[in-house]
Amino acid sequence: MSDEQSGAKNTLSIRDNRTGRDYEVEIHEGDVIRAMDLRQIKVDEGDFGMMSYDPAFVNTASTRSTVTYIDGANGILQYRGYPIEQLAERSSFLEVAYLLLKGELPTQSELDAFVQDVTFHTYVHENMRDLLDSFRYDAHSMGMMISAVSALSTFYPEAKNVHDPDTRWIQINRLVAKMPTLAAFAYRYHRGLPLVYPENELSYSANFLNMLFRIGVKEYRPNPVLERALDVLFILHADHEQNCSATTMRVIGSAEADPFSAMAGAMAALYGPLHGGANEQVLRMLHRIGDVKNVPEFIKGVKNREERLMGFGHRVYKSYDPRAAIIKRTAEEVFEVTGRNPLLDIALELERIALEEDFFVSRNLYPNVDFYSGLIYQALGFPVEMFPVLFAIPRTVGWLAQWQELIEDPEQRIARPRQVFTGSERREFVPVEERG
Ligand code: CMC
């Protein structure tokens, strides 16, 4: 029966019991009402009007987006409609980057041109070396990266011209291209190693591995399994719709800041241990547990709320994180080359126990993308400080796709949430000598 036959209407009726008035607001795109439609609900004319209160935006859509689709209940993740499993299996990171940024998979010639553009922009201004040199010897790589990306805005002042699509595209190419170079520089600085410059004939991932790990040889060719594993990890991390850092990117971008400055903010959000800093925390946690025999005691601590099981749980995925399943398989392939990471046994035992325990099952706590990625990064030779950086490199693409969508969206204006004020009412200033 159609809506018309059944008399069903795509509207929501609201009765304000304070006044007895009835309102009818339109329902859009399935289950969405416009928050501004609530504003008409008032007790009297002087009233501001009804708002919704939603700390942490748990039930608020801040945008319409065509980039990434997640069905958290069923463990589905799609970029521009393509399932993450197919992209991880059959695509390359730069092909996925093009898809996310442009909306469609590239033709061969479009892909070749994009790869050429990204390759062409991998070098950074030599002054960036001085900037990185100025950090303390033990500076965290992510802190260095955030500063470096923000500094890039001063090298490209034209990036402020955010409404010009051609200028935007050049900055996008620059950011995608320069992130691995800056990341490798930060890593080599940390290790006290001479910097290695980009090599244009290598793939995106191979070039990155070359800049990181080449020492004392003219040519460095990474193991193809490891090169592919890194590319797959990059694909899995490329975007994840309106998460904390993407929202930060959009909020800063809404003030029309240049993309380098906006991205430095997004990276700062990603750095947090509840977001992209979690993979680092997983490794630290596994080291702390130290042995499979200590796992039950650790789980007890989690249930007593003395600990948090890092790498578990997700705001959106409530069945499983499809990225975690792919990463677990990738880990096995990597370990065949590098040898088994001894922490894997602790991770597997944590997962086994957690998936049986009611505390985790009843709260829908499953391994997320960060649970196994750190083990792969460690096997590839990365120190833990580099883990959030390894998240930031591919997520650059997602941030920029989200930023571009925001800039082109006529409905978007400067982000400015409301508050429910709960502080004190007006009161008179008291001079310090009269305060009790
Ligand atoms: N260990 C133990 N308990 C947990 C965990 C965890 N990892 N995650 C959630 N809970 C509990 C939480 O205490 C709460 O219990 P109760 O209802 O009894 O108070 C319940 O589960 C719901 O948790 P929440 O904190 O309301 O969930 P959230 O949606 O606000 O938080 C999260 C999501 C990812 C921040 C959280 O699950 C967490 O802190 N996980 C560990 C950090 C982590 O792995 N982060 C990476 C996320 S995936 C990559 C990314 O997106 O950056």
| Distance (Å) from CA 299 to ligand 1 centroid | 15
Fold of 66-410: Citrate Synthase; domain 1 (1.10.580)
Task: Tell me, yes or no, if 314 is annotated catalytic.
Answer: yes
CA nearest ligand 1 atom 35, residue: 274
Taking residues 394-398, report their average pLDDT: 98
Q: Is any atom of ligand 1 closer than 6 Å to the C-beta of 361?
A: no
The pLDDT, as a whole number, for residue 432 is 97
**Catalytic-labelled residue, pool 121, 140, 237, 314:** 314
CA nearest ligand 1 atom 28, residue: 315
Q: For a pocket test of ligand 1, which of 241, 284, 365 has the largest count of ligand atoms closer than 8 A to its C-beta?
A: 365
Taking residues 149-153, report their average pLDDT: 98
Taking only the tens place, the pLDDT of each residue in 403-414 is 999 999 999 999
Q: In the structure, what pLDDT confidence band is assigned to residue 318 with cuts at 50, 70 and 90? A: confident
Residue 309 pLDDT > 80: yes
Residue 4 pLDDT > 70: no
Taking residues 358-373, report their average pLDDT: 91
Task: Tell me, yes or no, if 125 is annotated catalytic.
Answer: no
CA nearest ligand 1 atom 3, residue: 308
Q: Is any atom of ligand 1 closer than 6 Å to the C-beta of 312?
A: yes
Q: In the structure, what pLDDT confidence band is assigned to residue 5 with cuts at 50, 70 and 90? A: low
Query: Which residues are paired to 71 by β-bridges?
Result: 76
Q: Is any atom of ligand 1 closer than 6 Å to the C-beta of 9?
A: no
Taking only the tens place, the pLDDT of each residue in 80-111 is 999 999 999 999 999 999 999 999 999 999 99
As a whole number, the mean pLDDT across the chain is 94
Taking only the tens place, the pLDDT of each residue in 7-56 is 789 999 999 999 999 999 999 988 999 999 999 999 999 999 999 999 99
CA nearest ligand 1 atom 37, residue: 313
Instruction: Provide the token pair at 177.
Output: 């291209």
The pLDDT, as a whole number, for residue 2 is 54
Q: Is any atom of ligand 1 closer than 6 Å to the C-beta of 303?
A: no
| Distance (Å) from CA 79 to ligand 1 centroid | 24
The residue extents of the domains of the chain are 10-53, 66-410
Q: Is any atom of ligand 1 closer than 6 Å to the C-beta of 311?
A: yes
Q: Is any atom of ligand 1 closer than 6 Å to the C-beta of 315?
A: yes
Percent of the chain at pLDDT exceeding 90: 87
